Amino acid sequence: LECGDISDNGPVTETSRVEIGALSQPLEPDFVIKDRQHTSKAEDNTSESYDTTQSEFEGSPEDLSDIPKVKHYDWTSSKPKLFVRVEDEFKRYATKLPLGSNYLRGCLWSPDGTCLLTNSCDNVFRVFEFPPALTPNPMDYDLELNLMEPDTLPAVLWMREPELIYDYCWFPGMKTTDPITCCFASTSRRTPVHLWDAFTGTLRASYRPFNHMGESIAAQSIAFSTDGQLLYCGFNRFVQVFHVCRPGSQSERRPRLGQKPDQGGIISCLASHQCGARGLYAAGSFSGSVGVYTEPGRQIALVEGPRSGVSQVAFAEPVNAGSSWYLIAGGRVDSQIFVWDGRWMASPLVVLHRRVENYQRFQFGLDATGRYLFTGSQTGVVSIFDFTSPTVGVGEKEPATMFPVSVWRAHLDSCHGLSVHPTLPVVATTSGQKRPSSALPSNGRRKGKPAADLLPSPKRLCERCKSAEPVKAEENIAPNLTPPSSDSESDSASEAQLTEDDAISSAMLVGPQLDRMPLEGCLYRLPIRNELALWAFPKGSREQA
């Protein structure tokens, strides 16, 4: 894509190809980009040449009107069916990683529901096309009668980032029938913010943030505004705002240099929302605070969320509710999801629970109506919460909580990635987690590294502990679990099974009951499953409006 060349004097001149900066790296030679299969409408548009002037690329609220209207579904009437499971795809281009360590780091549906974007440990973005959404009438597609075999949904695009990926997001007005809108942004360590073309897999543009010393820095989080005109980038105690139609280094810093920031910590996640005529955006930080701002950067609320750091924020616009919007925040190493009412944010309206014991970013998703919230857990269980359900009091000083209305075991491993399809009753989940080398298969460990590398360093042990014998692996297993096989050639020697009853029952615990759960502190020993799964809910679950 050719973007406008921005000069320091201001206006956009005639188009010229954006040069890839020194911090950007092209795809490796072994990466082959397939030709994507498009619908009949998309094929007609690809033959036409398109230009990226400012008026075309900025987008407007009218551009979003072509996205299909959503249907109301009752997600709790029955259990979902596995539409397809993908695992072998994530073993490609991961030869430099130990065996079984290419775990996924999340997934995200495109706004029109035709593509699914995944992120994994090998720093490769994979784009999957969803066949039902590409049919002439996606709403009439029978998902139950067209279940796919495992590993029959290959990726159509691969895009590699040179460093660890921090965050990514789709362009809000993305439509497959309009190739100019098919793009997403990403940020990674020691690189500028990249805008990727989701049709060809090439790099469209780069946005270069600089600090007060003129040094190039990497954004920790990114988010588009609802109209697609602005790109928010989070840093340590400040946010930089880029105009999407102006790649380069020209940006606005909030707060300005020299002003005291109202929100401390690294801005770890961002989200935007359109409230009437004004645009809102929320910023969560690793200090545990969540701030809500209105354009052009005025703070309207600052609340305390998860103490260990906020990993995701989102706005929800519930149907048939008194509040115009809810603010939702989830944290790392924290089983709580905080929900605030936009009308009164002095304290959380309700706190939801899920089982999380590590530093992964556990995603939660909302259906198109804003009524149901989906979230995964480290036990592989997906919980569905209904905001219209009654709340339950936990204590006098504790906020009210809510039980899930439906749960199911999606994966045997940690289910951290989750995204709800915008128009169809389909939920995408991803699994996998970072493990110590002793928990990996024996042929995947590095040579010369001891198997008992989980023991603390001898320098930190007292004299009494130094003389003690090492604890055997069998003694660390929970009492209700069967010890693994002693066969050294088995890859499952370091795995510990968690029964489905224990996994599901832990999703129903709240308050003080969370202190003691099966396999507590050892969930990294669950079976290794680095996979993507699509779950289809029956069409009969559609509510009659």
Give the model's pLDDT for residue 443: 54
What pLDDT is attached to residue 91?
87
Domains in the chain, please, with CATH? Answer: 77-433+529-541 (2.130.10.10)
Measured CA to CA in angstroms, residue 201 lies from 21, 26, 31 at distances of 17, 11, 10
> Cβ atoms within 10 A of the Cβ of 61, count?
11
pTM: 0.78
Measured between its terminal Cα atoms, the distance across the chain in Å is 43
The 8 Å CB, 24+ separation contacts for 364-368 are: 364/312, 364/314, 364/328, 364/330, 364/337, 364/418, 365/418, 365/419, 365/420, 365/427, 366/314, 366/316, 366/328, 366/420, 367/73, 367/75, 367/420, 368/70, 368/71, 368/420, 368/422, 368/423
- DSSP, res 210: B
Find the DSSP H helices in 457-499.
Answer: 463-466
DSSP class of residue 280 equals: E
SS (H, E, C) 46-58: HCCCCCECHHHHH
User: What does the alpha-carbon distance between residue 150 and residue 542 come to, in Å, rounded to a whole number?
Assistant: 27
Asked if 157 and 202 touch (Cβ cutoff 8 Å), the reply is no
Classified as helix, coil or strand, 460 is: helix
Strands (E), 121-229: 124-129, 157-160, 165-170, 183-188, 193-197, 203-207, 221-224
The pLDDT of residue 455 is 33
Are 226 and 172 spatial neighbours (Cβ–Cβ below 8 Å)? yes
Determine which helix (DSSP H) or strand (DSSP E) holds 40, and give its type and residue range: helix 40-46
Dist CA 119 CA 416 (whole Å): 12
Residues 372, 391 contacting (CB under 8 angstroms): no
DSSP bridge partners of 195:
185, 205
d(CA 349, CA 327): 10
- Which stretches of the chain score pLDDT less than 50? 1-65, 67-68, 445-493, 541, 544-545
Contacts 24+ apart (CB under 8 A), 288-294: 288/331, 289/263, 289/264, 289/265, 290/327, 290/329, 290/338, 291/262, 291/263, 292/327, 292/345, 293/254
Spatial separation of the C-alpha atoms in residues 340 and 348, rounded to whole Å? 5
Which residues share a beta bridge with 236?
266
